[in-house]
């Protein structure tokens, strides 16, 4: 099935309600975000491979009301839903992670149907098992740079699973900071790897432009010392 471009909130509601029993993949994007350019092609390729899944593409800025429903604060952003229940949320341009989640919840594998595709999908299969320290380090570099501001937290912004994560999300929203996030509870390899990668044993962890900034206490201190902390930090490497 080809990707359906959402043109209105009414169309979105109709499609998600009438096909609620199907697995639905939501892809939030914007024309100006560089990482979205590559993920556009990946999303279309996966739509052709997974015929049983409904693929919906949503311009996050043109359809802010839909973005707000799912609390989308950074793009690219993927959500898998079924029966109006969110199964998985992913932020950032990581095709392998999205493919793994898609295979998990659809019960399909694209390995047999991607011989003529760009190869992004089948590569995801072996990475779930043993991952070398070098490969993990490279994956962490990509994850921490997936958005200008990346929060590694317990749970999601819409459903934090610890008080510290909830507080950092509140701080980011208070300062109107757009951020991507990664739920460390859903990937223990990333959770343990980040402790070494950042030389920091606890979560949440906040990264800006791929650089570790600290946990809750350090972020609070940084804001006290510099009220424009977020603006200055994100522009430092611009």
Integer CA distances (angstroms), 138 to 93, 102, 169, 179, 227, in order: 14, 22, 26, 21, 33
CATH number of 1-129: 3.40.30.10
* pLDDT of 61: 85
* pLDDT of 34: 80
Per-residue pLDDT of the chain (238 residues), as tens digits, is 689 999 999 999 999 988 778 899 999 998 887 888 888 988 999 998 888 899 999 998 888 889 888 878 778 899 999 888 888 988 887 888 888 888 888 875 444 333 333 333 333 334 445 678 898 999 899 889 888 889 999 888 878 888 899 999 999 989 988 888 888 888 888 999 999 999 999 999 999 999 999 999 999 999 999 999 998 877 755 4
Domain layout of the chain by residue ranges:
1-129, 130-238
DSSP for 94-139, written as a single string:
-HHHHHHHHHHHH---STTT-TTS-STTGGGSGGGS---HHHHHHH
Token pair belonging to 224:
């006290």
* pLDDT of 162: 87
Domain 130-238: CATH superfamily, name plus number:
Glutaredoxin (3.40.30.10)
Is 214 in a helix, a strand, or coil? strand
């Amino acid at each position: 099935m080809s990707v359906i471009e959402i043109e209105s909130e009414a169309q979105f509601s109709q499609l998600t309600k009438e096909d609620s029993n199907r697995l639905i993949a939501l892809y939030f994007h914007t024309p100006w975000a560089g990482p979205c350019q590559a993920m556009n092609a990946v999303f279309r390729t996966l739509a052709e491979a997974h015929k049983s899944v409904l693929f919906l593409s949503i311009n996050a800025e043109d359809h802010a009301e839909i973005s707000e429903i799912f609390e989308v604060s950074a793009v690219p952003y993927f959500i898998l839903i079924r029966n109006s229940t969110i199964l998985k949320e992913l932020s950032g341009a990581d095709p392998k992670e999205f493919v793994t989640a898609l295979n998990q919840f659809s019960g399909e594998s694209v390995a047999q149907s991607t011989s003529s595709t760009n190869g992004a999908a089948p590569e995801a299969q072996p990475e779930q098992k043993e991952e070398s320290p070098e490969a993990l380090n490279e994956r962490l570099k990509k994850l921490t740079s997936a958005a200008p501001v990346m929060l590694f937290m317990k749970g999601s912004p819409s459903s934090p699973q610890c008080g510290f994560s909830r507080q950092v999300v509140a701080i980011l929203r208070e300062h109107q900071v757009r951020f991507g996030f990664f739920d460390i509870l859903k990937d223990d390899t990333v959770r343990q790897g980040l402790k070494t990668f950042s030389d920091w044993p606890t979560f949440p962890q906040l990264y800006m432009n791929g650089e570790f900034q600290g946990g809750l206490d350090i972020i609070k201190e940084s804001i006290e010392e510099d009220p424009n902390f977020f603006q200055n930090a994100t522009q430092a490497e611009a």
